[in-house]
Amino acid sequence: MEAFNHRLNTYIDSWMGPRDPRVRGWFLLDDYPPTFVCTILYLLMVWMGPKYMKDRQPYSCRRILVVYNLALTLLSLYMFYELVTAVWQGGYNFFCQDTRSAGAADDKIIHVLWWYYFSKLIEFMDTFFFILRKNNHQITFLHVYHHATMLNIWWFVMNWVPCGHSYFGATFNSFIHVLMYSYYGLSAIPAMRPYLWWKKYITQGQLVQFVLTMIQTSCAVVWPCGFPMGWLYFQISYMITLIVLFVNFYIKTYKKHGASRKKDYRNGAVASVNGHTNGTAPAETVKHRKPRAD
Examine the residue annotation and report whether 177 is marked as an active-site residue of this protein. Answer: no
Residue spans per domain, the chain: 2-286
Average pLDDT over residues 172-178: 97
What is residue 294's predicted lDDT score, i.e. its pLDDT?
Answer: 66
Q: CA-to-CA distance for 90 and 161, rounded, in angstroms?
A: 16
pLDDT over 70 at 154, yes or no: yes
When pLDDT is cut at 50, 70 and 90, the band that residue 152 belongs to is: very high
Q: What percent of the chain has pLDDT over 70?
A: 87
Give strand pairing partners of 277: 280
- pLDDT at 23 > cutoff 50: yes
What is the per-residue pLDDT for 272? Answer: 33
Where does the pLDDT of residue 255 fall: very low under 50, low under 70, confident under 90, or very high at 90 and above? confident
- What is the pLDDT at residue 283? 36
Please count the other Cβ atoms lying within 10 Å of the Cβ belonging to residue 31: 17
Helix or strand holding residue 285 (H, E): helix 283-286
For residue 262, the model assigns a pLDDT of 52
**pLDDT exceeds cutoff 70 at 261:** no
pLDDT, tens digit (0-9, with 9 covering 90-100), for 105-117 = 999 999 999 999 9
Residue 286 reports pLDDT greater than 80: no
Confidence label for 131 from pLDDT (cuts 50, 70 and 90): very high
Q: Does residue 219 carry a pLDDT above 50? A: yes
Mean pLDDT of 18-44: 97
Please give the biggest Cα pair distance in the chain: 69
Residue percentage of the chain with pLDDT more than 90: 74
Decide if 217 contacts 232 (C-beta within 8 A). yes
DSSP letters for 21-65: GGGTT-TTTS-SHHHHHHHHHHHHHHHHHHHHHTTSPPP--HHHH
pLDDT for the residue 146:
97
Query: What's this model's pTM, rounded to 2 decimal places?
Result: 0.87
| pLDDT at 267 exceeding the cut of 90 | no
Q: Calculate mean pLDDT across residues 252-265.
A: 61
User: What does each C-alpha distance from 120 to 1, 115, 170, 174, 294 come to in angstroms?
Assistant: 25, 9, 11, 11, 11
Catalytically annotated residue among 111, 143, 146, 165: 146
CB 206 within 8 A of CB 79: no
CA quadruple 218, 12, 243, 273: dihedral, nearest 10:
-130
How does residue 121 score in pLDDT terms, banded at 50, 70 and 90?
very high
CA 43 to each of CA 40, 47, 102, 211: distance values in angstroms, whole numbers, following the listed order: 5, 6, 39, 28
| 142 DSSP assignment | H
Per-residue pLDDT reduced to its tens digit, 66-102: 999 999 999 999 999 999 999 999 999 999 999 998 9
